[in-house]
């Protein structure tokens, strides 16, 4: 070992470089994040989970859900919807501009089609795959009196499956401690399960016997989260309404244990339901129903 000190410094350098790259820089990049006001929902996001949700997360860990379910929505690309919101004072000019915009995107827009688009406002007249096209189209409509807006559409297999409206980003996991992101997708992704499947009764039935609600499910039955007990003087209010092969014997009922209720509460708390700056999507247009309801309530 004549060159021992060289070896020592070489090993030290390798360790320092990996420590900087894997620990220090990620900490600087993402570690100091905190909740942030999201203007679309008018409150801070994300919110701290309650104690029942935290208990549910423990059950989630104990039951090993993370082995087969991920909690991360991926996004492979994005496109734009170009929306005509207002026509303005010169409809003839807008007609020709719509045709011109169609040419840019390689679509034949006829006069009648342009008229139709202008009659049904707001109308999505173009889906553009590149931001350059968007900028060119916005340039065409500049100073024409019309209001044209580009709305972003996240793309990717996960989003096509309806697993979520956008990709998940670091901010979404602020209160995920420990992080149960998962690696294998033997079952569907759960990042947005609280929005996709918001019925607690469905979740309880699914945990007790997955095949009772999803015929082809390969998920094991978590019967140990439930008590099968004789029906007392009055049936339990929490008893599951099971039918057919999955129903318990005569005079018996299936009642969820507190663990099952906590787990369902945790699942329902998993929501990706608002855009954030780093993962935008068109929020107001995606849920016109809710906005209208809110307006009607205000009016009353």
Partner 1 sequence: MSSKPKKSKQFKKTSNDREPGVSKAPISVIFFVATVLLAYWAMMELNTRAGGFNRYVYGPYESYKVVEAVQPGSGDDPIKRGANIYRNVCSPCHQASGMGAPGQFPPLAGSDWVNVEGPNRMLRIVLNGLNGPIDVNGETWNAVMPGFGDVIASDEDLAAVISYVRNSWTNEASICTPEEAAAARADSGDRGRAWTATELLTLPLEVQ
Number of residues that bind partner 1 (CB under 8 A): 34
Interface with partner 1 (CB under 8 A), residue from 116, 132, 199, 278? 278
What does DSSP assign to residue 87?
-
**Among 145-153, 216-224, 234-242, 288-296, which window interacts with partner 1 (CB under 8 A)?**
145-153
Q: Cβ atoms within 10 A of the Cβ of 184, count?
A: 10
Residues 246-275 that bind partner 1 (CB under 8 A): 275
What does DSSP assign to residue 83?
E
Is residue 194 within 8 Å of 271, Cβ to Cβ?
yes
Interface with partner 1 (CB under 8 A), residue from 21, 50, 64, 145? 145
Interface with partner 1 (CB under 8 A), residue from 143, 243, 245, 249? 143
Element housing 36 (H / E): strand 36-38
Tell whether residue 138 is a contact of partner 1 (CB under 8 A).
yes
Q: DSSP H helical segments within the chain, as ranges?
A: 4-19, 25-26, 51-62, 91-104, 111-119, 131-141, 157-160, 193-196, 200-208, 258-269, 283-286, 288-299
The two beta strands, 147-155 and 226-230, are unpaired
Tell whether residue 280 is a contact of partner 1 (CB under 8 A).
yes
Tell whether residue 157 is a contact of partner 1 (CB under 8 A).
no
Beta bridge partners of 149: 83
Q: Shortest approach of partner 1 to residue 284 CB, angstroms?
A: 8
CA 194 to chain centre: 9
Interface with partner 1 (CB under 8 A), residue from 52, 63, 104, 169? 169
- What would the 3-class secondary structure string for 189-238 be? CCCCHHHHCCCHHHHHHHHHCHHHCCCCCCCCCCHHHEEEEECCCCCCCC
Tell whether residue 80 is a contact of partner 1 (CB under 8 A).
yes
Report the residue number, 50 or 77, with the smaller CB distance to partner 1.
77
Tell whether residue 2 is a contact of partner 1 (CB under 8 A).
yes
Stretch 26-55: interaction string toward partner 1, x if CB under 8 A: ---xx--x----------------------
Terminal C-alpha separation, the chain: 86
Q: For the chain, what's the residue count?
A: 300
Q: Shortest approach of partner 1 to residue 176 CB, angstroms?
A: 17
Distance CA(64)–CA(59), nearest Å, equals 8
Tell whether residue 151 is a contact of partner 1 (CB under 8 A).
yes
Q: Is the peptide bond before 178 cis (omega within 30 degrees of 0)?
A: yes
Report the residue number, 151 or 265, with the smaller CB distance to partner 1.
151
Report the residue number, 112 or 143, with the smaller CB distance to partner 1.
143
Tell whether residue 91 is a contact of partner 1 (CB under 8 A).
no
Interface with partner 1 (CB under 8 A), residue from 53, 213, 264, 279? 279
Stretch 112-131: interaction string toward partner 1, x if CB under 8 A: -------------------x
Residues binding partner 1 (CB under 8 A): 2-3, 25, 29-30, 33, 75-78, 80, 85, 131, 138, 143, 145, 147-152, 167, 169-170, 275, 277-284
């Amino acid at each position: 070992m004549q060159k021992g000190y060289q070896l020592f410094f070489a090993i030290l350098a390798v360790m320092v470089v990996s420590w900087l790259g894997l620990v220090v820089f990620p900490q600087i990049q993402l570690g100091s994040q905190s909740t942030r006001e999201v203007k679309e929902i008018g409150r801070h996001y994300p919110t701290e989970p309650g104690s029942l949700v935290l208990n549910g997360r423990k059950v989630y860990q104990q039951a090993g859900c993370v082995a087969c379910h991920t909690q991360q929505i991926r996004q492979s690309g994005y496109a734009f919807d170009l929306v005509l919101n207002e026509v303005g004072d010169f409809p003839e000019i807008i007609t020709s501009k719509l045709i011109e915009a169609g040419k840019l995107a390689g679509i034949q827009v006829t006069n009648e089609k342009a008229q139709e688009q202008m009659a049904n406002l707001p109308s999505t007249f173009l889906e553009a795959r590149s931001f350059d096209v968007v900028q060119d189209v916005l340039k065409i409509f500049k100073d024409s009196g019309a209001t044209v807006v580009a709305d972003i559409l996240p793309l990717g297999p996960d989003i096509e499956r309806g697993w979520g409206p956008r990709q998940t980003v670091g901010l979404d996991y602020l209160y995920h401690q420990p992080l149960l992101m998962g690696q294998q997708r033997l079952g569907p992704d759960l990042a947005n399960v609280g929005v996709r499947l918001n019925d607690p009764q469905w979740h309880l039935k699914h945990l007790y016997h997955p095949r009772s609600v999803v015929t082809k499910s390969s998920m094991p039955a978590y019967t140990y989260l439930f008590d099968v007990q004789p029906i007392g003087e009055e049936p339990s209010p929490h008893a599951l309404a099971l039918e057919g092969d999955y129903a318990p014997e005569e005079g018996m009922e299936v009642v969820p244990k507190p663990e099952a209720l906590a787990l369902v509460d945790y699942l329902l708390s998993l929501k990706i339901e608002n855009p954030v700056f780093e993962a935008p999507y068109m929020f107001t247009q995606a849920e016109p129903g809710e906005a209208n309801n809110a307006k009607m309530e205000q009016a009353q």
